[in-house]
Structure 1
Amino acid sequence: MTPHELGRSRYVSLTTFRRDGTGVATPVWVVSDGQELYVWTRSDSWKVKRIRNNSRVLVTPCDVRGRTAPDAPTAEGTARLLDETGLRLVRRLLTRKYGWQFRIVDWPAAIVRLGKRPHTGIAVKLAED
């Protein structure tokens, strides 16, 4: 499955790996731009901590609850955490794809935190087949 095909999915299950190799799947919003997928999450989330230790990830289309179809394709890739410039790109891409739904989640959090948005952008480069 290509980044573009996965990026068209409403949600993907992003599986990150604990130090002992156990996978932990989380449904997330996703968008593609070029050859990478982009995800947005809280900086203090466990998936960010797991990616710092192990950049290997699996990506599978899913529903809002993280349920994947039995025949859903899974792609393996490598994740990297983005800096502030990368995070701005991810926010712009997610706003373009999800519109008001993304804004309703992102902006109130910034107001409550006095302008601080403790989020991290994640870029996923899929492995070549």
Structure 2
Amino acid sequence: MSVPAEITASKQINLTTYRKDGTPVPTPVWHVVQGNTLTTVSGADAWKVKRIRNNPQVEVTACDIRGKVAPGARSVRGTAVLLPLTETENARRLMESRYVSARIGGWFTRVFHIKRPAAVGIVITL
């Protein structure tokens, strides 16, 4: 399945993960689309990462920066995979290619050798 144009064009998506009891938890995140996959990066100790470890089934919907979904927005189901540390850096570079804020932050960490908190890349196949 290809990524809907609405999700490709949006700057943020609601990444909905599921608790062990099945309760959905939407979180707005930045993303980069490549073919039929979405890539994002999150803190390694974030709750969404823990929920993905328990249940890789996710749902994505285009949203605004605060996570508000437009009426009638289409949701798409997918499967999330957590990337190893070596591939997470590539995911960060992808994020930098789309988002100026990520590019500036990445530049500062490289130039001034700032240690970043542990992160994990997430690839969602739709």
Give the shorter-chain TM-score range.
0.7 to 0.9
2:112 is equivalent to residue 75 of structure 1: no
Cα distance in 2 for residues equivalent to 1:33 and 1:4: 12
Corresponding position: 1:52 with 2:60:
no
Percent identity reads 43
Residue 7 of structure 1 corresponds to 8
Task: Work out the CA distance in 2 between the residues paired with 1:75 and 1:122.
Answer: 16
Q: Does 1:30 align with 2:7?
A: no
Give the whole-Å Cα distance in 1 for the aligned partners of 2:107 and 2:119.
12
Q: Is the 8 A contact 1:4 1:34 kept in 2?
A: no
Report the AA paired with residue 27 of structure 2: T
Aligned-pair CA distance for 1:33: 1.5
Q: Distance in 2 between the 1:106 and 1:42 partners?
A: 15
Kindly tell me: are residues 25 and 62 of structure 1, through their superposed partners in 2, closer, same or farther at Cα, counting changes over 3 Å? Answer: same
Letter in 2 for 1:22: T
Q: Say yes or no: does 1:43 pair with 2:40.
A: no
Matched residue SS, 2:78: strand
TM-score (norm 2): 0.87
Runs of at least 4 residues of structure 1 off by over 3 A? 103-111
Does 2:119 correspond to 1:119?
Answer: yes
Shift in alpha-carbon separation, 1:97–1:68, aligned structure 2, 3 A: same
Number of aligned positions between the proteins: 125
Tell me, which stretches of 5 or more residues in structure 2 are unaligned?
A: none
After superposition, the CA RMSD in angstroms is 2.3
**2:42–2:121 CA contact under 8 A, matched in 1:** yes
**Structure 1 spans left out of the alignment, 5+ residues:** none
- Aligned-pair distance for 1:92? 1.3
